[in-house]
Amino acid sequence: MITIREYIEDDAEAVGKLIADTYARFNLAILSPEELKLGLGPFQHAWSQDEAHKQKIAEMIRSEWVFVAVDEGEIVGVLRGRKERLASLFVRDDHHRQGAASQLVKRFEQECQKYAPMVIRLSATVYAVPFYLQMGYKKSTGLRSGWSFDYHGLPIQPMRKVLQADLLLENTRHSSKVLHLKLQCEQRVGLNFAIRPANKSFVGIGLVPIRDNIGKTGANDLLRITPS
């Protein structure tokens, strides 16, 4: 049975090897051997016992949120991300199409939901695009030319998914009324809510369009995007 838990530092070696193997065999499969070394960056040293290599890999794994999928005590998947950004997702090949990836994404979205309404963005390799489409993500632009560590030229598909916000507004005087709220935030967010009474509360659901921003991702992301 696959379970999802938070990453701990003791997981670094296993996660580093998982990323190196999966990234090389699937996402970077189109690269030549020399290009692959550039594209893997520090993860090409995932099996090294050199402490400097281990520390660098552990540093690269760290992110605001890191979750691992575990099956029978073994780490079989990992997702890294932060608010509004799914940075990377890898699942061991013998656990593809067994629910590990979808469980990791759902766990990540649960964290993001606390800050909704918001838009989650990601940069998918061509190999991963069908999976993200199944998870409700949409292509936000055409293909881009992306960086993977020191390699440039990897085809990347920017994608996004809008998370709705669930608002709970306490109301003791107007529990029988329907409240319509429209809130506009000039530059970043536009909200449209229809809020209806539920018991003694108003429950509202809204959508937020946030302006597109194709640029470099954070320093610890495995991929960064540049216009073609």
Q: Summarize pLDDT for 154-204 with one digit per residue, the tens.
A: 999 999 999 988 643 333 333 333 333 333 333 333 433 333 333 333 233
Q: In this structure, are residues 195 and 181 in contact, taking their beta carbons and an 8 Å threshold?
A: yes
Q: Cis ω on the peptide bond leading into residue 117 (within 30° of 0)?
A: yes
Q: In this structure, are residues 189 and 208 in contact, taking their beta carbons and an 8 Å threshold?
A: yes
Q: Please give the pLDDT value at position 166.
A: 64
Give the residue among 165, 168, 153 at the shortest CA–CA distance from 209. Answer: 165
Amino acid at 14: A
Q: Which fold has domain 2-226?
A: Aminopeptidase (3.40.630)
For residue range 95-126, list pLDDT tens digits in order: 999 999 999 999 999 999 999 899 999 999 99
Query: Could you give the 3-state DSSP secondary structure of residue 116?
Result: coil
Strands 65-71 and 2-6: antiparallel
Cα(133)–Cα(163) distance, rounded to whole angstroms?
A: 15
* pTM for the predicted model, two decimal places: 0.75
Q: In this structure, are residues 4 and 107 in contact, taking their beta carbons and an 8 Å threshold?
A: yes
Mean per-residue pLDDT, 48-75? 98
Cα(150)–Cα(178) distance, rounded to whole angstroms?
A: 56
β-sheet bridge partners, residue 151: 148
Question: In the chain, count of helices (H) and strands (E)?
Answer: 5, 13
